[in-house]
Amino acid sequence: MTHILIVEDEPEIRKMVCLALKNASYETSEAENSEQALRLLLDKRSDLIIIDWMLPDISGIKLIRKIRQREIHKQTPIIMLTARSEEEDKVSGLDAGADDYMTKPVSIRELLARIKALLRRSQGYENILTIAHLQLNETAHTLHIDQQLINIAYTEFKLLKFFMSHPNRVYSRNQLLDFVWGQNVFLDERTVDVHILRLRKILKTYDADKMLQTIRGIGYRFSSDLNHYV
């Protein structure tokens, strides 16, 4: 499901946009300031982000720059909302890394059309995640290790994709169930262990299993920094 994050401090606008997006079958998250937005983006990758120019903590422009610094959101489409319609503002918004710009009051129909267009464009890109000698192509659904195409089952692929887009962070089995299997699925936490084991087996053949680290009493972490290995 396509996931969209909306960062806007005015609750009425935020709720209105969220509702419209949900009705258009998008999955949404809401943030009322930059700090919240950056935190949410660490837990869940967004396919598109809508950012209001005037936020209570740092400006939307600064937030875009921070988001663009993160590898997995370098190419995520961003739409900037603003109350100001000056050409100069539009230019600085686009300069900061926004892909599109809309003036308030926002027309929902126009917003949905622009979202569609941006997603069509971005999903045409090949989304490739690279960590050490692992290369995962989300678009083609393939994994290469040392340029060799690896045979990997669907669940292990999804699990690895999650880890590679969220490296260096520890996730509990429960969090992994939510993020990888989905929130409405009720599975035993041991399911995670089973698939971790399978994924490790694949990685071990290519000497990459140490990247998938067990953090005793907490969960798992994926990292190319082997000093963290427990």
- Minimum Å gap between C-beta 68 and Ca ion is 20
Nearest approach, Cβ of 51 to Ca ion (angstroms)?
Answer: 10
Task: Let me know the angle formed at the C-alpha of 189 by 221 and 195, rounded to the nearest 5 degrees.
Answer: 60
Q: What character string, x for contact with Ca ion (CB under 5 A) and - otherwise, covers 46-75?
A: ------x-x---------------------
Closest residue by beta carbon to Ca ion: 54
Considering beta carbons, is residue 63 or 159 the nearer one to Ca ion? 63
Shorter beta-carbon distance to Ca ion: residue 9 or 27: 9
Task: Give the 3-state secondary structure of residue 138.
Answer: coil
Rule CB under 5 A: choose which of 2, 3, 9, 206 binds Ca ion. Answer: 9
Binding to Ca ion (CB under 5 A): which residues in 181-220?
A: none
Minimal distance in Å, beta carbon 55 to Ca ion?
6
Q: How far apart, in whole angstroms, are the C-alpha atoms of residue 163 and residue 52? A: 30
Pick the stretch among 44-52, 112-120, 160-168, 202-210 that binds Ca ion (CB under 5 A): 44-52
Q: Which is nearer to Ca ion, 84 or 141 (CB)?
A: 84
Question: Other C-beta atoms within 10 Å of 2: how many?
Answer: 15
Residue 108 beta carbon to Ca ion: minimum distance, rounded to whole angstroms: 17
Of 6 and 145, CB closest to Ca ion? 6
Residue pair 6/21 in contact (Cβ under 8 Å)? The answer is yes
CA angle 20, 25, 29 (to 5 degrees): 70
63 versus 160: smaller Cβ distance to Ca ion: 63
Hey, what's the torsion of the CAs at 64, 69, 71, 76, to 10 degrees? 10
In what side-by-side order are the strands of the sheet with 219-222? 170-172, 219-222, 212-215
Number of residues in contact with Ca ion under rule CB under 5 A? 3
Q: Specify the amino acid at residue 182.
A: G
At closest approach, how far in Å is the CB of 13 from Ca ion? Answer: 8
User: Shortest gap between Cβ of 53 and Ca ion (angstroms)?
Assistant: 7
Q: Edge to edge, what strands does the sheet with 48-52 contain?
A: 27-31, 3-7, 48-52, 78-82, 100-103
Is residue 20 near Ca ion by the rule CB under 5 A? no
With contact defined as beta carbons under 8 Å apart, do 110 and 96 qualify?
Answer: no
Binding stretches for Ca ion (CB under 5 A) = 9, 52, 54
